[in-house]
A = this chain, B = another copy of it.
């Protein structure tokens, strides 16, 4: 570790305390970003295969310009009239099924999920929430309670019931009927809530189940799960904080892989390319339920600068055809990773949609034993070789590939070459 890094680490421990964590055995001191590349203080560059927040590329000049132009002109809140929040709401809802016509804005994904829960409870009068068993939906008290990744069994309140993540590689159902069979657990959860005298307000799920290990819901799952919770009086909330905005390639939203329209869609991270903006889109009749319950206001949410940044992001996704790029380059990566699995026995599974890809590492392919140590070593080794990734999943053995959407085929090939060499070295550990 060089002296610059050591001194920053000491300052950090002193000023931010011990509750903050860092990526990598040798933490990165980044100073510049452009497109899919990040540069450290020594001028070394790294291919960013991890960060989905800089959705249209790090420091995209159009987003920066839009934000700066508006910041120099006016930045207030939604208790005055302003075009930006309306223009953005119009553009955003146009990206969603017709029923989802009403947008509300906040600053973080946690706040979006807080708002979604509030709408669901206002509409249904119920409080139960059904979540997947390793979900992450936020860091506030209420969203922590519905995040089994962080909130362990003994802390889980009675109103939260989990269903198994619909994982066809590692989970209990692996056949063509997996969607149907996993979805049946939503009814089980409704029944457990009923035994506790609690009605369901909502079933909420990442439409690509990220913290569960980048799990793609099997065919039929979302539709049936939504129908089941609705049958019991609850709403279906699609958490699009990670899969949204074209990342999955085929569709602009993760839920759109199925013929289902959520009652509420939440979104955050990529929305402003790093500017703190998040939101909820729902039906007018559902949003109206809040009006009678004190309404909604968020000081910074939907301000003219946030909306200028978010508008620029939508423009860029369309004009640079980034959803199509995600589909094409994502498919190329997935194909290449599957080929790599011929050479690397440690590759247990490759899955994902578009530029949201999981590479699951195992110590035994037959028994699918998770290779957590190898995943951690590989993440650190890739960093040393100039490629940034992270590991995730209940067993922490899944490499998450979720780069900015401007990743080119050449960038992907660079990553694939580095990964090949790293896995070759790693299996010799």
Contact with A141, one of B21, B22, B140 (Cβ below 8 angstroms): B140
The interface on chain A, measured as residues whose beta carbon lies within 8 A of the other chain's beta carbons, has a size of 93
> Are the C-beta atoms of B81 and A15 separated by less than 8 Å?
no
> What are 10 A-to-B residue pairs whose CB atoms are below 8 Å?
A16-B78, A33-B73, A58-B76, A59-B75, A61-B72, A67-B68, A75-B275, A275-B300, A275-B305, A276-B300
User: Cβ of A17 and Cβ of B51 under 8 Å apart?
Assistant: no
Contact (Cβ within 8 A) A81 B111: no
- Interface check A299, CB cutoff 8 A: yes
0 or 1 for each of A49-74: is its CB under 8 Å from B? (1 = yes): 00101100011010110011001111
Complex Cα gap A106–B110 (Å): 11
A73–B101 CA distance with the chains assembled, in angstroms:
36
A267 to chain B, nearest CB (A): 13
Residues of A within 8 A of B (CB): 5, 8-9, 11-12, 14-23, 27-33, 38, 51, 53-54, 58-59, 61, 63-64, 67-68, 71-83, 85-86, 89-90, 93, 101-104, 106-111, 114, 117-118, 139-142, 150, 268-269, 273-277, 282, 284, 287-288, 290-291, 294-300, 302-303, 305-306
A63 to B264, CA, bound (A): 36
| A78, closest chain B residue (CB) | B20
- Other A-B contacts than A59-B74, A274-B303, A275-B300, 18 sampled, CB-CB below 8 A, are A8-B86, A18-B284, A18-B287, A20-B78, A23-B80, A28-B80, A31-B73, A33-B73, A51-B76, A53-B300, A64-B71, A68-B71, A107-B107, A111-B140, A139-B298, A268-B299, A276-B300, A276-B303
- Please tell me if the beta carbons of A81 and B16 are within 8 angstroms of each other in the complex: no
CB distance from A360 to the nearest CB of B (A): 22
Give chain B residues whose Cβ lies under 8 Å from the Cβ of A294: 150
Contact yes or no, A23 B67, CB < 8 A: no
Copy tally for this chain in the complex stands at: 2
Q: In the complex, how many angstroms separate the beta carbon of A149 from the nearest chain B beta carbon? A: 9
> Is A18 touching B291 in the complex (CB atoms < 8 A)?
yes
Q: Do residues B54 and A19 form an inter-chain contact, with CB atoms below 8 A?
A: no
Query: Is the Cβ of A9 less than 8 Å from the Cβ of B81?
Result: yes
Shortest Cβ distance from residue A239 to the other chain B in the assembled complex, whole angstroms: 14
Which residues of chain B have C-beta atoms less than 8 A from A108's C-beta? 106-108, 111, 298-300
Rounded to whole angstroms, the CA-CA distance of A339 and B413 in the bound complex is: 76
Which residues of B have CB within 8 Å of A29? 80-82
Q: Which of B16, B51, B59, B142 contacts A103 (CB 8 A)?
A: B16
Do B101 and A19 have beta carbons less than 8 Å apart?
Answer: no
A295 to chain B, nearest CB (A): 5
In the complex the two chains form, is A284's CB within 8 Å of B17's CB?
yes
Is the CB–CB distance between A58 and B74 below 8 Å? Answer: yes
A362 to chain B, nearest CB (A): 26
Known: A16-B104, A297-B20. A71 touches B76 (CB 8 A): no
